[in-house]
Copies of this chain bind each other. A is one copy, B any other.
Amino acid sequence: MSSENLAIETVGQHACCGGSLRVLKHPSEVLGVPATFSIFLPKEALAGQKVPVIHVLAGLTANHETFLIKSNAIRFAAEHGIALVAPDTSPRDTGTPGENDAYDLGSGAGFYVDATAEPWSRHYRMESYIHRELPALTEKLFPLDGDRRGIMGHSMGGMGTLVQALRYPEFWKSVSAFAPICHPSVIPWGQKAFDAYFGGDPSKWRDCDPTLLLRNGHKHPATILVDQGLQDQYLSDLRADALVEAAKESGQSLEMRHHDVYDHSYWFIQSFIADHLTHHAKGLKA
């Protein structure tokens, strides 16, 4: 084992649904601090077989555990023989001034972007972490098939999912989201975060806004599945309408499902998670 691997610490390990849920802490080169993530390995992976993998990105205030313990995803991942990787929602304890001052900026609110403005640019580089470091690390450590890699997310993590999928369509083969922030540039959450993380650089704003990415010609070859509750308390900030419009104009295949009585919570995610795993299983030939 290399010295790099020795620095990786397993801080939790639990049998679950015939497989194994593990929590790992590693020195992140991209983030410049130790980072924690969870991984679910189905029994096939424990037996050494290469399995497809879905990275799951959670929303504001969540951490590496939230999506996996609350979504019901694991039981369906186990059924399909798919691994799940759940990163944290930001770097932690970086010493960046103000990082713990608000729920929607800094800790728990990395927005899956690479900050370019001070004081955030040193550590807040979740886009590169999600795209470069975490897949490479997990695929080195575990029998995950990098050719069958999907991405899924909720809210802020739904935004991160769509941005990753549209920017790196060869890298992520299947895509789905629950109640994603679809057009961050025009709503308070996104404007606050982008202003802090990018300052005035409009090219960065464009690159991290799913609706603008679609308008600017980015596409994903697969159908993107999105579930949106119509009783979502953040409905007007999420702007599913803008995503639908942009997808229509650009020819992006998008299955946008609206659900009458559902809100923004994990109770909503629990209700439709099985369909998402089926969607990814199909896309990843699991």
Contacts and interface: CB of A to CB of B under 8 A. Distances in A.
Nearest to A20: B261
A270 interface: yes
A270 B75 CA distance: 8
Interface string A56-80: 0000000000000110101100000
A202 to B, nearest CB: 38
Contacts of A16: 267-268, 270-271
A18 B271 contact: yes
A250 interface: no
A262 B15 CA distance: 5
Interface in A70-114: 70, 72, 74-75
Q: How many copies does the complex hold?
A: 2
A14 interface: yes
Contacts of A260: 15
Contact of A15 (B74, B75, B261): B261
Contacts of A268: 14-16
A195 interface: no
B14 A263 contact: yes
Contacts of A70: 69-70
A266 B21 CA distance: 11
Contact of A14 (B74, B75, B267): B267
A24 interface: no
Interface string A1-30: 000000000000011111001000000000
Given A15-B231, A72-B72, A74-B270, 5 more contacts: A15-B262, A15-B263, A16-B267, A18-B271, A69-B266
